Structures are given as structure tokens and as C-alpha cells.
Amino acid sequence: MLDLVEANKAIQLVTDRYLRTWLISLIESSTDEPGRMPADPIVDVMLAEYLRKPPADGLGDEDLADVLYVRWLIGQLDEESVEPAQLAVLQMRWAAARDKD
């Protein structure tokens, strides 16, 4: 039974990563500036579903950085609560996404 539990956690983690990657791309492409919720019904529905539940168990540093980035992109992150170096990383990631367009 333990193997099934571990397999389920692994599947949830991979699914969460794919959904988060897609969601980040969708948000980046449908907003003009970070900190504002995109005016796109699909994004609204996906964000409501994604943010409704807590992050998956077992998230590594890169996954946690993605979760932080999503929250920063949509304005759910108080910039004063983020360390300046972390905020700089978020801003550079946003700038890099803009350069791809």
C-alpha cells in the first residue's frame, strides 16, 4: 500500500509542475505587468483551481520559486515581505519572459 501512496505523491508532483509551468506561461503572456491579475477568464478559472489547494508535498527549491513567482505575478505577494535579492530574481525572470515575446 505504501508504494501506491508514494506513486500517487510522485504523480501529483509531476502534474503540479506541468500545470504550474503552463499557468506561468499563460499569465506571462496575458498580462502587461506583474502584480496584476490578468483579465482572461481562462486564467481566472485556472488560478482559482490552482490556488484553491495548498502546494503539493515534496516541493523542491525550484518548485517553491515557481509558486512564489506565480503569486508575485498575480499580486498575491506583498513585496515588502520578500527579500530584495528574491524580488530581484522575480523581476529578472519577468524581464526574461518579456524578452522572449
Q: Residue 43 belongs to what H/E stretch?
A: helix 41-52
How many Å from the N-terminal Cα to the C-terminal Cα in the chain?
47
> Coil, strand, or helix at residue 22?
helix
- Give the tens place of pLDDT for each residue, 18-75: 988 988 998 898 888 888 877 778 777 777 777 777 776 678 889 889 989 998 998 8
List the domain range (segments joined by +) for residue 64.
2-100
CA-based torsion, 17, 22, 26, 32: positive or negative = positive
Band (pLDDT 50/70/90 cuts) for residue 88 is very high
Number of compact structural domains in the chain:
1
